[in-house]
Amino acid sequence: MTSMGTLTRWEPIRDFLGLEGRMARLLGDNFSRLPLGENFGAWVPLVDIYEEGDRIILRAEIPGASKDDIDVKVENGTITIRGEKKQEKEVDSETAYRIERFYGTFSRSFVLPTSIDAGKIKATYKDGVLEVVVPKADEAKPRKVQILGG
């Protein structure tokens, strides 16, 4: 008689990040020099972008960063968020039990879906969340067209 094992849900992202961590510990500083692509091993903030009336809202989770370490730039209809999340204290990987949080520089760029009024963009950073409010340009706002009789 055989016993049934416990089913474990496969989470490929978790497994991939675990592999990345093991490779970094194994290869040390050489890991960051491997030709694996610009963003491999880097962290990026999670972002929501949605329309709300006559504006576009972008919300990015950047916990642990200072607002002075975050830069928001809009150019040619593309919004770019760059910054750095600094580690409070250097932890020796040989004495650490677990290091899962990400630190370092990040950059995310998004093409905005409509014409915007770049001069009226406002950004706030509170409780680890960056919120950028991007007003639509007057020509991008919906207008009701009157139908004339003929």
148 within some domain: no
Are the CB atoms for 116 and 77 separated by under 8 Å? yes
Note whether 47 and 121 are same-domain residues. yes
Q: Which amino acid is at 34?
A: L
Provide the domain limits for residue 83: 42-88+96-139
Side-chain-side CA neighbours of 77 within 13 Å: the count stands at: 7
Cβ partners under 8 Å of residue 110, min gap 6: 47, 49, 58, 78, 79, 80
User: Which pLDDT tens digit goes with each residue over 73-118?
Assistant: 999 889 999 999 888 777 777 787 877 777 888 999 999 877 888 8
**What is the pTM assigned to this prediction?**
0.65
108 within some domain: yes
Q: What is the dihedral of CA 96, 100, 105, 110, to 10 degrees?
A: 180
The pLDDT confidence band at residue 133, using thresholds 50, 70 and 90, is very high
Mean pLDDT on 52-56: 91
Angle formed at CA 44 by CA 135 and CA 123, multiple of 5 degrees: 25
Which run of H or E residues covers position 103?
Answer: none
Note whether 84 and 135 are same-domain residues. yes
